């Protein structure tokens, strides 16, 4: 079955992002496919390149990145939610004349249309963190 | 065309769930799908008239919800028990075309959908 996930909560402050990550790994191990993981609302913080947790804790943004590379999963961050919260790629940092870029590689900034497209093409859309 | 139900379960102010749910729904309206919106739990507070969030530096959610009609979103529901639990009056909600539905009808509405997006 083809799944997409929507993640609305930040890593660490809310368990939901970690639950979503475990769910994603379990889906793949059970033979399902993941079309897209869409990060919206506070979920966009899962895409930061600047998180630096203590060494004995999981760095969830990096875990998402590694999962994306290994399993070829589309990681999409909502542009409106990202800009409001200070998550920028090169293009947006230039556009808004901001001094830094903090979107982790393998995440892509795009619009809410990508959420709708995921809902349309996937068999199941599962929301985490609301 | 897929049937997609947006469920809005949070109060209009205090966090961004209600606003970002509406943003997502309005964006989705451009894609020619069968969209519906359900207010339940604290989400029913979004439907109260006379909201004045100016002093908390927020936009008026009631005014934003009026845009639903312009965007062609007509299937709008409110779980009546969520109103009753909060002591709210069914007669003075904004959105004239909203349908008040009971728990059984809500269950059936949800089970008819291809996808749910819950905020």
**Average pLDDT, consecutive stretches of 10 residues, N- to C-terminus, chain A (130 residues):** 98 97 98 98 98 97 98 97 98 98 98 97 97
Q: What is the pLDDT of residue B1?
A: 93
Q: What is the pLDDT of residue B51?
A: 95
Looking at the complex, report in whole angstroms how far the Cα of residue B44 sits from the nearest Cα belonging to chain A.
Answer: 16
Torsion of CA A95, A101, A102, A103, to 10 degrees: 60
- Tens digits of residue pLDDT in B45-94: 999 999 999 999 999 999 999 999 999 999 999 999 999 999 998 888 99
Domain architecture of chain A: domains with CATH: 2-128 (3.40.1260.10)
What radius of gyration, in Å, describes the C-alpha atoms of chain A?
14
**Residue B96 confidence (pLDDT) above 90:** no
- SS3 state of residue A128: strand
- Contact criterion met (CB < 8 Å) for B116 and A127: yes
> What is the reported pTM?
0.96
Q: What is the pLDDT of residue B90?
A: 83
DSSP lists the bridge partners of residue A33 as A2
**Portion 109-128 of A in contact with B at CB < 8 A:** 111-113, 115-117, 119-120, 122, 124-125, 127
For the question of an ipTM over 0.90, the answer is: yes
User: What sign has the CA pseudo-torsion A117, A118, A124, A126?
Assistant: negative
- Tens digits of residue pLDDT in B9-41: 999 999 999 999 999 999 999 999 999 999 999
Superfamily of domain B3-118 in CATH is DsrEFH-like (3.40.1260.10)
Tokens in use for B9?
Answer: 């379960």
């Amino acid at each position: 079955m083809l799944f997409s996930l929507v993640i609305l909560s930040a890593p660490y402050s809310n368990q939901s992002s970690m639950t979503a990550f475990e769910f994603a790994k379990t889906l793949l191990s059970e033979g399902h496919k993941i079309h897209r993981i869409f990060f919206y609302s506070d979920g966009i913080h899962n895409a930061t390149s600047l998180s630096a947790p203590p060494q004995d804790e999981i760095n969830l943004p990096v875990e998402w990145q590694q999962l994306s590379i290994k399993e070829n999963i589309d990681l999409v961050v909502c542009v409106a939610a990202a800009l409001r919260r200070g998550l920028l790629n090169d293009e947006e940092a230039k556009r808004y004349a901001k001094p830094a870029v903090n979107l982790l590689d393998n995440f892509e900034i795009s619009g809410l249309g990508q959420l709708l497209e995921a809902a349309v093409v996937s068999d199941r859309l599962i929301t985490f963190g609301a | 065309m897929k049937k997609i139900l947006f469920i809005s379960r949070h109060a209009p102010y205090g966090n961004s769930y209600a606003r970002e749910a509406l943003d997502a729904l309005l964006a989705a309206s451009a894609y020619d799908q069968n969209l519906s919106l359900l207010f339940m739990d604290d989400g029913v507070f979004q439907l109260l008239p006379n909201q004045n969030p100016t002093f908390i530096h927020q936009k008026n959610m009631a005014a934003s919800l009026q845009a639903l009609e312009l965007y062609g979103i007509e299937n709008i529901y409110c779980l009546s028990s969520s109103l009753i639990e909060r002591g709210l009056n069914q007669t003075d909600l904004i959105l004239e075309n909203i349908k008040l539905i009971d728990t059984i009808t809500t269950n059936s509405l949800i089970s008819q959908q291809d996808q749910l997006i819950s905020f």
